[in-house]
């Protein structure tokens, strides 16, 4: 059997370079994580060879007995882990999952509400150039100037706008979501509440963040952030057992499982990515292990330690800190923009991403802030004392962002730290026996 290094040495070298980058650097983008070797193995499996349009037991192709086992395991593990009666594990990623939720619950032109992208929301929650802002009447809500969701202001806006769907979830919100309040707000106008927990799903199942189950009508999530799985997504809900090959008699909360399944297929997608489903199933099994709860709480402990150490060094954190896995730093008082800070930290071996902050006067491609988080560092085994060291390096790098010598020196220190936390020992894309 030909190995990758023999068949395509250019791709093998690029992957090897990426492996080295991840091994020797500090991945601190909060929407990223590091999967297990078992997840990697499932993702690179023969599941990719099979076409499986439809659902277990009801496929449009033959030869799916083994795939049905895989998908049923993923669905049952998701249902048990999150405490819901229905799980669809076929969405290709988070954006298609949110598209499917809209397709299931809304008609074209219906009104939806979501958190404004520049205030920490997501493209698929009604941003003007996204499908959610083009095919639906989208209204955006914002945080208060200090970055907190103002639930009273949101309740007033919902009563005025009367949306049919309220999206709650974020890409850059460092605080807890109060699901009971949000359910009350949505129900005040009989709107569907869709909880997009892509960022916090691992914290939810690990008991480090309140669960939206029982409050949200539909829950969407990616599987590759705090849940520590492959790139993919799931849609969760409660209701009558799904009959995706039959249209429900009406759109109602009672028939949410069927509405969701029909939206995913045949509404938006063809055959699911079976190798991805297998890897999701593996990640869900890992997340059900007792040690995952310890891991989820350590993510938050690390984020709080990092927030405290950065605050001591004069960093202005949006909302003043964090309750979850991420921090949003406003660098206005550091006399540097987010784009320059991202580049400087990258040279120092620390990967973050530039990000807008509430009421940001700068443009999105050169915003005032950076977004950073602790899931990948926690996965590698780092603890609070390591976060304090990292905060010092970040401060030094931003103070000396034009000094290549200083940034290179920090990079060497970063490598000394990462060497203590090996990543995928023995793995190589250039070896014939990887």
pLDDT in tens, 15-68: 999 999 999 999 999 999 999 999 999 999 999 999 999 999 999 999 999 999
Domains defined along the chain, listed by start: 8-34+293-418 (3.90.1150.10), 44-287 (3.40.640.10)
Question: Catalytic site residue 53?
Answer: yes
Residue 433 above 60 pLDDT? no
Question: Considering 8, 24, 32, 53, which one is annotated as catalytic?
Answer: 53
Question: Catalytic site residue 85?
Answer: no
Mean pLDDT of 387-403: 98
DSSP for 286-320 reads HHTSHHHHHHHHHHHHHHHHHHHHHHHTT-EEGGG
Question: Is the whole-model pTM more than 0.85?
Answer: yes
Question: Considering 27, 196, 286, 342, which one is annotated as catalytic?
Answer: 196
Q: Name residues whose C-beta falls within 8 Å of residue 168's C-beta, 6 or more positions apart in sequence.
A: 114, 115, 177, 182, 193, 194, 195, 196, 212, 216
Cα 66 to chain centroid, rounded = 29
Residue 1 above 80 pLDDT? no
Question: Catalytic site residue 231?
Answer: yes
Question: Catalytic site residue 225?
Answer: yes
pLDDT above 70: percentage of residues in the chain? 99
Question: Considering 3, 24, 32, 51, which one is annotated as catalytic?
Answer: 51
**Per-residue confidence (pLDDT) for residue 432, from 0 to 100:** 60
Q: Name residues whose C-beta falls within 8 Å of residue 315's C-beta, 6 or more positions apart in sequence.
A: 329, 331, 334, 395
Does 266 sit behind a cis peptide bond, omega within 30 degrees of 0 on the bond before it? yes
Question: Considering 143, 222, 374, 418, which one is annotated as catalytic?
Answer: 222
What Cα–Cα distance (Å) separates residue 42 from each residue in 73, 75, 276, 279, 392? 14, 16, 8, 5, 38
Q: Give the dihedral sign, CA 14/20/23/27.
A: negative
Question: Are the C-beta atoms of residues 306 and 293 closer than 8 Å to each other?
Answer: no
**Per-residue confidence (pLDDT) for residue 249, from 0 to 100:** 87
The CB density around residue 225, as the number of other CB atoms within 10 Å, is: 27
Residue 12 above 90 pLDDT? yes
Question: Are the C-beta atoms of residues 38 and 230 closer than 8 Å to each other?
Answer: no
Q: What is the pLDDT of residues 159-218, one digit of tens each?
A: 999 999 999 999 999 999 999 999 999 999 999 999 999 999 999 999 999 999 999 999
Q: CA Rg, the chain, in Å?
A: 22
Confidence band, pLDDT 50/70/90 cuts, at residue 347: very high
Angle (nearest 5°) at CA 202 between 201 and 208: 100
Question: Catalytic site residue 222?
Answer: yes
Q: What is the pLDDT of residues 55-111, one digit of tens each?
A: 999 999 999 999 999 999 999 999 999 999 999 999 999 999 999 999 999 999 999
Question: Are the C-beta atoms of residues 281 and 42 closer than 8 Å to each other?
Answer: yes
């Amino acid at each position: 059997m030909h190995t990758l290094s023999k068949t395509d040495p250019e791709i093998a070298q690029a992957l090897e370079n990426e492996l080295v980058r991840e091994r020797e650097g500090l991945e601190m983008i909060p929407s990223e994580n590091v999967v297990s070797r078992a997840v990697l193995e499932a993702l690179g499996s023969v599941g990719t060879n099979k076409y499986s349009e439809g659902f277990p037991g009801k496929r449009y192709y033959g030869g799916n007995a083994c795939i049905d086992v895989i998908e049923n395991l993923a669905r049952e593990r998701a249902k048990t882990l999150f405490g819901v009666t229905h799980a669809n594990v076929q969405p290709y990623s988070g954006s298609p999952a949110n598209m499917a939720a809209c397709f299931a619950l809304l008609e074209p032109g219906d009104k939806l509400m979501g958190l404004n992208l520049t205030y920490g929301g997501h493209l698929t929650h009604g941003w003007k150039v996204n499908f959610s802002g083009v095919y639906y009447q989208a209204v955006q809500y914002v945080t208060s100037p200090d970055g907190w969701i103002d639930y009273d202001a949101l309740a007033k806006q919902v009563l005025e706008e009367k949306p049919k769907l309220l999206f709650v979830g974020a890409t850059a919100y460092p605080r807890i979501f109060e699901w009971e309040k949000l359910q009350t707000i949505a129900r005040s106008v009989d709107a569907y509440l869709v909880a997009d927990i892509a960022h916090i799903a691992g914290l939810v199942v690990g008991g480090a963040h309140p669960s939206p189950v029982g409050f949200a009508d539909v829950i969407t999530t990616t599987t590759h952030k705090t849940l520590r799985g492959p790139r993919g997504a799931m849609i969760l809900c409660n209701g009558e057992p799904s009959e995706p090959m039959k249209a429900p008699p009406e759109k109602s909360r009672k028939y949410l499982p069927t509405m969701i399944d029909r939206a995913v297929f045949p509404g938006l997608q063809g055959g699911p990515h079976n190798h991805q489903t297998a890897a999701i199933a593996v990640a869900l099994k890992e997340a059900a292990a007792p040690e995952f709860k310890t891991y989820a709480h350590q993510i938050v402990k690390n984020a709080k330690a990092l927030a405290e150490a950065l605050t001591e060094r004069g960093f202005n954190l949006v909302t003043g800190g964090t309750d979850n896995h991420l921090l949003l730093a406003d660098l206005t008082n550091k006399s540097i923009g987010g784009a320059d800070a991202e580049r400087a930290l990258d040279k120092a071996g620390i990967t973050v991403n530039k990000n807008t902050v509430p009421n940001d006067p700068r443009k999105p491609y050169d915003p005032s802030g950076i977004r950073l988080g602790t899931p990948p560092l926690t996965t590698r085994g780092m603890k609070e004392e390591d976060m304090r060291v990292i905060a010092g390096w970040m401060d030094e790098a931003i103070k000396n962002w034009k000094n290549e010598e200083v940034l290179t020196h920090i990079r060497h220190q970063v490598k000394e730290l990462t060497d203590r936390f090996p990543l995928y020992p023995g793995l190589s894309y250039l070896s014939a026996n990887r």
